[in-house]
Amino acid sequence: MPSSSTTRKPRPVNAFAAGALRNRGDAGRSGEQGASSRHYRRAQRDRGADTRARLIDAALDVFGRLGFEGASTREIAKEADANLAAIVYHFGSKEALHVAVAEHIVARVRERIGRGIAAAALPEATATPEGARAALANLVANLVDVLLGDADAERWARFIIREQMQPTAAFDVIFGFMGPAHGIATRLVAVALGREEDEEARIRCFTILGQVMVFRVAQTLVLRRMNWHSIGEPEREKIKRIVIAQAMTILDAEGTA
């Protein structure tokens, strides 16, 4: 009898089966390489300027709706259709992204109202009380067109209002633009009143500019009370006319203060 310790020879492998096994292994490696390639392409795409812009746009929306504490980087990345790591790559942190959103808002507002503010700061704008009044009326009209005419202004307002209520480092960026702009407007008010740029002039300036802001900050209330579907050009023209008239009344009321 043959010994139980006799070594059995390996059975021959069917050539077709062997080929299938090789193909399966090649397919597995190819799938891994394909997945790796997709991840690589995604990572490369997320490093581009387009992804950075999408992250800022998504963050503007999420921060505006939920605030800094309530917003998550995961949700921002999801809305931007980007990897979570893209936020770290482009900004370094959630805090830095928040500040970048504020810088984006300031840049966009400056694009639209910068010329009007620059014109109001020219020497001829404050050479006479009459010139200051005219410059202030033009500035108010410009504000109405920008704040109530741009589709993005509503999202800017949500972000800015949150920063007014719970200021962070982002507010310093916003104030870096709003502070000097208010200073220029205050100068117009002071010259129109024939007085110094004192506390009285600053308060009157806030009341004038606040008449424009209320139509953005309280837009839902405004639309419902006015039975307006939206604030379009006809509505803006009505707002301009009344706000400018009210601004002149505020200036004319100097003697009764």
Shared domain check, 113 and 79: no
End position of a domain, from candidates 42, 67, 91: 91
End position of a domain, from candidates 34, 61, 91: 91
* 54: confidence class by pLDDT, cuts 50, 70, 90: very high
Are 85 and 92 a contacting pair, CB within 8 Å?
no
For residue 111, what pLDDT is reported? 92
End position of a domain, from candidates 56, 91, 126: 91
Tokens of 223: 């639309």
**pLDDT tops 70 at residue 34:** no
For residue 252, what pLDDT is reported? 86
Task: Name the amino acid, one letter, at 63.
Answer: F
Q: Which domain holds residue 188?
A: 101-256
Shared domain check, 121 and 223: yes
**pLDDT tops 90 at residue 24:** no
For the CA atoms of 65, 67, 68, 71, the dihedral, rounded to the nearest 10 degrees, stands at: -40
Shared domain check, 214 and 139: yes
Shared domain check, 118 and 177: yes
For residue 58, what pLDDT is reported? 97
Residue scoring higher pLDDT (105 or 13): 105
Taking residues 93-115, what's their average pLDDT? 95
What CATH number does residue 46 fall under?
Answer: 1.10.10.60
Q: pLDDT digit string (tens) for 81-100?
A: 999 999 999 999 999 999 99
**pLDDT tops 90 at residue 37:** no
Shared domain check, 106 and 87: no
Taking residues 173-195, what's their average pLDDT? 96
pTM given for the model: 0.78
**Other C-beta atoms lying within 10 Å of the C-beta of residue 78:** 13
- Distance, in Å, from the CA atom of 104 to the CA atom of 112, rounded to the nearest integer, reads 13
**Per the structure, how many domains does the chain have?**
2
Shared domain check, 115 and 45: no
In a domain, 19, yes or no: no
Among 36-40, 196-200, 217-221, 239-243, the minimum mean pLDDT is found in 36-40
The per-residue pLDDT of the chain, averaged, comes to: 85
Shared domain check, 151 and 45: no
For residue 2, what pLDDT is reported? 44
Nearest Cα to Cα of residue 156 among 108, 213, 114, 105: 105
* 38: confidence class by pLDDT, cuts 50, 70, 90: low
- Distance, in Å, from the CA atom of 174 to the CA atom of 159, rounded to the nearest integer, reads 10
Shared domain check, 126 and 246: yes
* 237: confidence class by pLDDT, cuts 50, 70, 90: very high
